A and B are shown apart, each in its own frame.
Chain A
């Protein structure tokens, strides 16, 4: 499949370690945020979302933290596995009702066995 994110920032971690991927978003009016995972040759896959009235949300092995003061979003992956290797995008939505997402530039996560 095609290669996604040839020149993206890369985070390299050891299998079993925790990973933290950071994202700065652009619009203080954004009310909804999503993290997507994109593997080579595939479309973005929904991981977890968070609304602007929350500062933390947990899923299975993943946690999203939202700091609206500094417009910062992070994705924490616990016990990172080789299958977590992919490009990760944060996306924001401005509360216009149309639910169009604005994506960040992405981070490549490489998990070393």
Chain B
């Protein structure tokens, strides 16, 4: 196990609703990234947070937003849900100290939009 936890495990929402997904980083990791993984595809980078600020973003619209808290836990918020938002959402944490650039992934939250 990586020490990265996510909640909830599964979630079903209706189109147009809003959703908040949560991630608890591995101890000592100060950077968290969020990825979207559609069925049958590799994860796609949404954004990254470092010291509570977004410092990198992939090709996702502004209705995807996030927060990082002082204890390095994080949230992913998605507004105005669309059917195509159905996917597995993964968070990954890493440390920027030394050369430890590996990102450690949580188990993901499976979001279904109906």
Residues of A participating in the B interface, judged by any CB pair closer than 8 Å: 2-8, 32, 34, 36, 41-46, 49, 89, 91, 93, 96, 98-106
Q: How far is the CB of B59 from chain A (nearest CB, A)?
A: 11
Residues of B participating in the A interface, judged by any CB pair closer than 8 Å: 2, 4, 31, 33, 35, 37, 39-45, 48, 55-56, 58, 88, 90, 92, 94, 101-108, 110
Residues of B within 8 A of A101 (CB): 33, 35, 43, 45, 103
Distance, CA A103 to CA B105, complexed state (A)? 13
The answer to whether A89 touches B48, judged by C-beta atoms less than 8 angstroms apart, is no
Residues of B within 8 A of A32 (CB): 101
Inter-chain residue pair count (beta carbon < 8 A):
74
The answer to whether A3 touches B39, judged by C-beta atoms less than 8 angstroms apart, is yes
Distance, CA A42 to CA B107, complexed state (A)? 5
Q: What are 12 inter-chain pairs, A to B, with CB distance below 8 A?
A: A32-B101, A43-B4, A43-B90, A43-B107, A44-B92, A46-B103, A46-B105, A98-B56, A99-B103, A101-B35, A101-B103, A105-B42
Q: How far is the CB of B20 from chain A (nearest CB, A)?
A: 19
Known: A36-B105, A98-B48, A101-B33. 19 other contacts (CB 8 A): A2-B110, A4-B39, A5-B40, A6-B40, A8-B40, A32-B101, A34-B102, A34-B103, A42-B107, A43-B2, A43-B92, A44-B43, A44-B92, A49-B101, A98-B55, A99-B48, A101-B43, A103-B43, A104-B42
Q: How far is the CB of A98 from chain B (nearest CB, A)?
A: 3
The answer to whether B101 touches A2, judged by C-beta atoms less than 8 angstroms apart, is no
The answer to whether B31 touches A99, judged by C-beta atoms less than 8 angstroms apart, is yes
Task: Give 8 nearest A-B pairs by CB, closest first.
Answer: A103-B42, A98-B56, A43-B105, A100-B45, A6-B40, A44-B105, A43-B107, A46-B102
Distance, CA A101 to CA B45, complexed state (A)? 7
Residues of A within 8 A of B4 (CB): 43
Distance, CA A5 to CA B40, complexed state (A)? 4
Distance, CA A19 to CA B45, complexed state (A)? 28
